[in-house]
A and B are shown apart, each in its own frame.
Chain A
Amino acid sequence: DTGVSQDPRHKITKRGQNVTFRCDPISEHNRLYWYRQTLGQGPEFLTYFQNEAQLEKSRLLSDRFSAERPKGSFSTLEIQRTEQGDSAMYLCASSLAGGPPGELFFGEGSRLTVL
């Protein structure tokens, strides 16, 4: 399978704990995105990387959230001191610079439940 893969698919944690999600994009894609989706809502943009550079961050990304893409390949999204409001599906997507605009390839998501 050469699509976008995310791990873990589901994480249950207690409030106050830290969690980390990993995303492996399609191998030749140099752009990587994180979105968050809550029940009954559309995806909300969190952040975007081109290669290893984080070029855009949403105001939704509070200081408890940090994303990295150290070698321009996989990315991690860490949430520190989780809150119940962080419960959501965290979606990763990738695309190729120069490809059709907005053609993002999404993974199946990592569902976070904060108790």
Chain B
Amino acid sequence: AQSVTQLDSQVPVFEEAPVELRCNYSSSVSVYLFWYVQYPNQGLQLLLKYLSGSTLVESINGFEAEFNKSQTSFHLRKPSVHISDTAEYFCAVISQGAQKLVFGQGTRLTINP
């Protein structure tokens, strides 16, 4: 069975500091991996995804994530955060052949000025 663990429920950082949100998954087969962002009082928006190919994927707003098969991880990073990045971030996985996207519990990113 597939599962996702987001290791930090909350991450406070200062503006312009780097951040890493950690995600580990469990699956016995090949996977597709996603990061979604949920801004306050809004729905989930796809931030970036790994389906195949290059293990480093990037979003349009400066986030990147690297698929590490040996570590079964898909950590999300940004070199310099902004106040507008304050949101909850969800890592999600679906195994090839599986029917559903499985989400982690979410990491609340708080940016302090």
Chain A complexes with chain B = no
Taking beta carbons and an 8 Å cutoff, which residues of A are in contact with B?
Answer: none
